[in-house]
Structure 1
Amino acid sequence: MKKHLYIAGNWEEASNDHPLVNSYTQKEIERIPLASAEQVERSLAAAEASFSETKKLSVGERKDILHDLHTLISHQEKEYAECISLESGKAYQSALGEVKRALATLELCSEELNTFSERIKIQPKNTSHSVVYGYFPIGPVLGITPFNFPLNLVMHKLAPALAVGNPIIIKAALDTPGPAMMLARDIGKTAWPKKALSVLTCKHEQSETLVKDDRIKKLSFTGSAEVGWKLKTLAGKKKVTLELGGNAGVILCDDANVHRAAKVLAMGAFGNAGQSCISTQHILVQDSIYETFLTLFVEETNKLMVGDPLEPTIHIGTMIHEKAASKVESWIEEALQAGASAVLRGKREGNLLWPTILKNVPHHAKLFQEEVFGPVVHVSSFSKVEKAFDLLNASRYGLSAAVWTEDEKRKELAFSTLEYGQVIVNDSSSFRDDAAPYGGVKDSGIGREGPHFAMREMCEIKALVQFRNQ
């Protein structure tokens, strides 16, 4: 479908535009409209005005809207997946998996509504009063989403907003706006109030206008730490959720299943060309299994197919653009110049980067300290598990970490010790269950997504306190 702005139920063009480029062919697909200040203002005005309608929708009406949207998407899984692959360079099979995850996110929001509107009773100390509380929609929500999961990360903002009865404005990623525009088209076929949804593409100036505006009551942002924390300073008194970057580490203890770990972590590190905030970037392996794991890990990595993302046999597609690919190459070179060695050095063709595995990366290198967001992983060894925990905790990020062990005490120690929003056991750091609370600590953000949690963060809690006649 041709890309237009979706403003309060209407498709519009704009006087300024931006090239949408296929990251594999590096050829322009079409021009993307950039919302003007006047179009942003109309989106805000419509969101504010429509709240009086959306907050009155019954639970049954909201469940019907979510169900109808689920039906529409499920009949177009292939079309959504192709759009994701075409614009982002994500391998088609992974894109299809993203569509299925988005459908699951919708289902979770609908299921959450079964109990969401119930009043919760509290037993007060003062027995002359009764107390109940409930969740009430907060008002217009602004969702700002990145390029790397252009459907499911939009859904994690959109579906909770619809579920609780909040109007929402989506600022879609300039590099991958198509899935969000397709969602707007399909929501327009449901009973959701037309003025209560706008999907925009715009430059930073207009994004900041949206963030600053007091008519927006909740900001949900997924993206880089640098941009996210800046937007928080602009957001004023509104509620804010930030899901930001990571530098995910995985610890393999001496009782780990190294064969399964090698296979799982190869995709965990290099799937989506490493362009995930929870992509495995550092693997710490206990001394006694280090060499065995490294050999198996290289073998499994070499099995991954790199190429045209629309080909169904491909595992790894492209970097999003040339600038991103060049940055990753420069970080690899910096690490090698600083003393790291390449176990497997991936080549580059255009925006395709083959996987790279390094060892002995110095702690001061960018690859050790920061989020590379590319198909690179570095491997190191450790003797004592506690030292590995300390090394991961030294990071300024805290989004996702993983530990491989069969020992229950080690699992519990990891859960209680690691300073991360989620701790994964016997799987990749890149695993996310869409029902779980998801978010980070330290520079990785504040607040939590996941339908149960996002829906409540898009509400105000209100208490009803009544005097009881004796």
Structure 2
Amino acid sequence: MLKQSYPYYLANKAHTAKAQLDVRDKYSGRLAARVAVPDARAVEKALAAAVAAVGPMRALKPWARQRVLQHCAARFEERRDELAKALCIEAGKPIKDAAGEVTRLIETFRIAAEEAVRVNGETLNLEIAPRLDGYRGYTRRVPLGPVAFITPFNFPLNLVAHKVAPAIAAGCPFVLKPSEKTPIGALIIGEVLAETDLPRGAFSILPVDGEHAAPLVEDERLKLLSFTGGQVGWTLKAKAGRKKVTLELGGNAACIVDADQAPQLDRVIERLVFGAFYQSGQSCISVQRIYAHAALYDELKKRLVARVKQLKAGDPKKKETFLGPMIDEAAAERLHGWIGEARQAGARLLCGGGRKGNMLEATLMEEVPREAKLNRQEAFGPFALLAPFETLDEAFAQVNDSDYGLQAGFFTDSLGHAMRAWDELEQGGVIVNDVPSFRVDNMPYGGSKRSGLGREGVRYAIEDMTELRLLVVYDV
């Protein structure tokens, strides 16, 4: 179970504080633990320590960075059950899903350990004209400097890992603000990092509120802000000044089911159920919009509704639970209100739609109006809409009729259709024969349009946390 209290981390060291943040069990509502909350002075100290650690972190050899990351992966493996239980309690994540996220935490640190020793440059051929005979060029990547991270509640381990592990591999000191709703996972990561020989100031983990996090956005000593969360990210970008900014801001992911999928409809339905309702739909790439070819639409709808009605909802600590609570009652109330608005506008409820506290039923709807919030905005909950299409042009147009573009899924047996989707869908990624919710931690991950800027995935994050340095040599 959880400890009664957790410290924050300032310049690699654990600190207590008079101010405390209550962390509650998201299913029972009972107090689960208290977390020390740093004040504005501590935030300033963390920034100053990160700046002071630039030289020592840059001097840390690749093999030493690798050993830190390997130590973390090994310790997370040893503490696997503790981490999963913490996730289950603070995030309300079903225990099976929590165990899966711990696995991804470990994998992400292992990937970063591999990448730490291959942050390479290249040799440039500069002899492109007679006047340049004898000149040779070389590049290498050097750490950007102190960086700031802000992470959301829905993946309290893995989204932290996708910032912290690349920073260590790149040699960048960092200051992290985890979500106040789910801070414990990040603090356990801090506890493990504190066991290592990282230079003093290499990391600080500060569970502060948005007001006290302002320096992480605005302070010009920081060289990068990496933010994962909602559309407020664009506001933060405007306040970030000259620093580099990467944003992952979610979406309303779509999935297309082609006409040739009737023979494997059972698998398609299982993946759609997973994509839409895994961890109560609280994923940036949760399946929110399902477009099925008219030839199989009615059959898919009938079987999908029947399957969704079978999902076990309830206490996330029980192994049989598939659908746990949303992060809080306000989130469930918001989405429940959107469902009501859509029904009033003519949408048809196929199943679900009920709410009790922060438990919202798995909900499917059809005939959702184009301008309804459920169609245009990010639902971020256990909801998906269905709509038929006649032609691929129509399906692609419906997917692209969105302000977002993170990932899309496309079930098809046609290579030609798959390549067209890759060409025409305005997305950061197209997943063929699976749902947009698919992610492997070494692949580039990010979106277009309002879904954000830049890419995560360990190697790609390292690129953002480093910069090229050129050397030109003339052979005298």
RMSD: 1.2
Cross-structure match for 1:262: 269
User: Any conservation in 2 of the 1:208–1:234 contact (CA below 8 Å)?
Assistant: no
Letter of the structure 2 residue corresponding to residue 250 of structure 1 = C
Shift of 1:296: 1.6
Q: Find the counterpart in structure 1 of residue 99 from structure 2.
A: 96
> Is 1:121 aligned with 2:127?
no
- 1:228 and 2:230 are equivalent in the alignment: no
- So what's the TM-score if we normalise by structure 1? 0.97
Q: Deviations over 1:306-345 (max 9, x none)?
A: 1111111111111000100100100100110100011112
What secondary structure does 1:55 align onto?
helix
1:246 aligns with 2:251: yes
Show the 5 A alignment for 1:91-240: 91-116=94-119, 118-124=120-126, 125=128, 126-225=132-231, 227-240=232-245
- 1:210 deviates by 1.6
The alignment partner of 2:321 has SS state of: coil
Q: Does 1:318 align with 2:325?
A: yes
**Displacement after TM superposition at 1:33 (Å):** 3.1
Quote the residue 2:52 is aligned against: 49
Shift of 1:74: 0.4
Instruction: Please tell me the residue identity of whatever aligns with 1:234.
Output: K
- 2:311 corresponds to 1:304: yes
Matched residue, 1:59: 62
Return the offset for 1:34: 2.9
Superposition deviation, residue 377 in structure 1: 0.5
Paired with 2:18 and 2:468, the residues of 1 have a C-alpha distance of: 42
Output the amino acid matched with 1:30: A
Secondary structure, aligned partner of 2:208: coil
Aligned to 2:403: 396
1:65: how far off? 0.7
Q: Which residue of 1 aligns with 2:72?
A: 69
The answer for the alignment partner of 1:279 in structure 2 is: 286
Contact 2:12–2:194 (CA<8 Å) still a contact in 1?
Answer: yes
2:342 is aligned with what amino acid? A
Deviation, 1:348, is 2.3
Aligned to 2:379: 372
Q: Does 1:14 align with 2:17?
A: yes
SS class of match (1:406):
coil
Instruction: Give the Cα–Cα distance (whole angstroms) in 2 for the partners of residues 391 and 108 of structure 1.
Output: 36
* Letter matched to residue 127 of structure 1: D
- The separation in 1 between residues aligned to 2:258 and 2:286, in whole angstroms, is 20
Of 24, 36, 39, the residue aligned with 2:39 is 36
CA contact (8 A) 2:336 2:353 kept: no
Distance 2:400 2:113 in 1: 37
* Counterparts of 2:280 and 2:403, CA distance in 1: 23
One-letter code of the match for 1:317?
G
Shift of 1:392: 1.2
Q: Which moved more, 1:197-206 or 1:186-195?
A: 186-195
d(CA) in 2 for partners of 1:383 and 1:58? 58
Deviation at 1:270, TM superposition (A): 0.5
Give distance in 2, aligned partners of 1:135 and 1:232. 25
| Cα drift, residue 30 of structure 1 | 3.3
Q: Which moved more, 1:14-23 or 1:422-431?
A: 14-23
* Contact 1:32 1:174 survives alignment (8 Å): no
Looking at structure 2, the residues matched to 455 and 110 of structure 1 have their Cα atoms a distance apart, in angstroms, of 12
SS of residue in 2 equivalent to 1:174: coil
Structure 2 counterpart SS, 1:205: coil
List per-residue Cα deviations over 1:235-269 (Å, max 9, x = no partner): 11111110112010001110123211101110110
Cα distance in 2 for partners of 1:181, 1:110 equals: 21
Is the Cα–Cα contact under 8 Å of residues 309 and 351 in structure 2 kept in the other structure? no
The aligned counterpart of 1:84 is 87
| Stretches of structure 2 lacking an aligned partner (at least 5 in a row) | none
Cα distance, 1:68 vs structure 2? 0.7
> Quick one: distance in 1 between partners of 2:416 and 2:458?
31
Instruction: Note if contact 1:188-1:194 (Cα within 8 Å) is conserved in structure 2.
Output: no
2:352 pairs with 1:349: no
Q: Following the alignment from structure 1 to structure 2, what is the Cα–Cα distance between the partners of residues 142 and 127? A: 44
Q: In 1, Cα distance between the equivalents of 2:139 and 2:470?
A: 4
- Cα distance between partner residues in 1 of 2:344 and 2:305: 22
**Aligned residues between the structures:** 467
Choose 84-93 or 26-35, whichever is displaced more: 26-35
Report how far residue 35 of structure 1 moved.
2.2
2:340 aligned with 1:333: yes
Unaligned 5+ runs, structure 1: none
